[in-house]
Amino acid sequence: MCSAAQAAWRENFLLRGRDVARWFPGHMAKGLKKMKSSLKLVDCIIEVHDARIPLSGRNPLFQETLGLKPHLLVLNKMDLADLTEQQKIMQRLEGEGLKNVIFTNCLKDENVKQIIPMVTELMGSSPRYHRGEVSERPLMFLLDTPGVLAPRIESVETGLKLALCGTVLDHLVGEETMADYLLFTLNRHQRFGYVQHYGLGSACDNIERVLKSVAVKLGKTQKVKVLTGTGDVNVIQPDYPAAARDFLHTFRRGLLGPVMLDLDILRGHPTAETVP
């Protein structure tokens, strides 16, 4: 393992030309088409996005309708996000035409009660669409939609961020690839909570070493047959996929501390590099 104080962390994450087109599930295309047809029935759009990626992966459909409908961006899971740069985030979003933004934590009802008053103020009149009543005073109805990605993810790195937040299915991206990108991000942002959580002793930028230590720590091993000159031999090896899954789930539960995955965008430092 490496020393957190002395290690030279990777400056770029090599993406190796991964194809993000296949990360968009077919059922989302159907949901997106239905959502577009429903927009004419609503008075206000409430867009819910992950607070850990406030600047990445938002559906361009909402950007196209910003000038047509009142729009509120709800950045949920604020408890999992490092909001040290919240003012810069708000400035960037305002520069994109988003003036109505609220950070929430729906599990603890933090700021959630502010949504209806903000929507009421944005609409300025009674809603026309009557389905799914969510408020009596003022009278308000909600048309819910499934979560839908943009049909074209802007970059592989954006796809990896979406995957870390649970928006893209893990197996489409690869759990060990996601774990490596997570490790890269945590080290680059000086977030070493994983060291203490897994009792690693020190931080490291090598995902194979980290996953091996995690697997041993959690007792996640598997028997593998190895062909030798004297025949097959059963060898006990670390279960790297299982260790990667645990690493990802631990991050998503917030046990590695709050993280801002878009920190490099805020600071103007690109981190991804695509190679053939």
Q: What is the CATH number of the domain that holds 237?
A: 1.10.1580.10
Kindly state whether residue 132 falls inside one of the protein's structural domains.
Answer: no
Kindly state whether residue 147 falls inside one of the protein's structural domains.
Answer: no
Q: Do 162 and 259 share a domain, yes or no?
A: yes
Q: What pLDDT does 129 receive?
A: 46
Q: Do 168 and 253 share a domain, yes or no?
A: yes
**Known binding-site residue numbers:** 76-79, 147
Q: Do 108 and 170 share a domain, yes or no?
A: no
Q: Which domain holds residue 257?
A: 156-267
The chain-wide mean pLDDT, for the chain, equals: 82
Q: Do 165 and 259 share a domain, yes or no?
A: yes
- 65-79, 122-136, 246-260 — most confident range: 246-260
Residue with the bigger pLDDT between 248 and 110: it is 248
Number of domains in the chain: 2
**Span 201-221, pLDDT tens digits:** 899 999 999 999 999 999 998
Kindly state whether residue 70 falls inside one of the protein's structural domains.
Answer: yes
What CATH number corresponds to the domain at position 86?
A: 3.40.50.300
Residue by residue, DSSP assigns the chain as ---TTT----SSEE-TT---GGGS-HHHHHHHHHHHHHGGG-S-EEEEEETTSTTSS--HHHHHHTTTS-EEEEEE-GGGS--TTHHHHHHHHHHTT---EEE-BTTTTBTGGGHHHHHHHHH-S--S--SSEEEETTEEE---------SS-S-HHHHHHHHHTTSS-HHHH-HHHHHHHHHHHHHHTT--HHHHHHT-SS--S-HHHHHHHHHHHHT-EEEEEEEETTEEEEEEEE-HHHHHHHHHHHHHTTTT----TTHHHHHT---EE---
Residue with the bigger pLDDT between 270 and 268: it is 268
Q: Do 160 and 118 share a domain, yes or no?
A: no
Q: Do 254 and 186 share a domain, yes or no?
A: yes
Considering the entire predicted model, what is its pTM?
Answer: 0.84
**Known binding-site residue numbers for GTP:** 76-79, 147
Residue with the bigger pLDDT between 3 and 77: it is 77
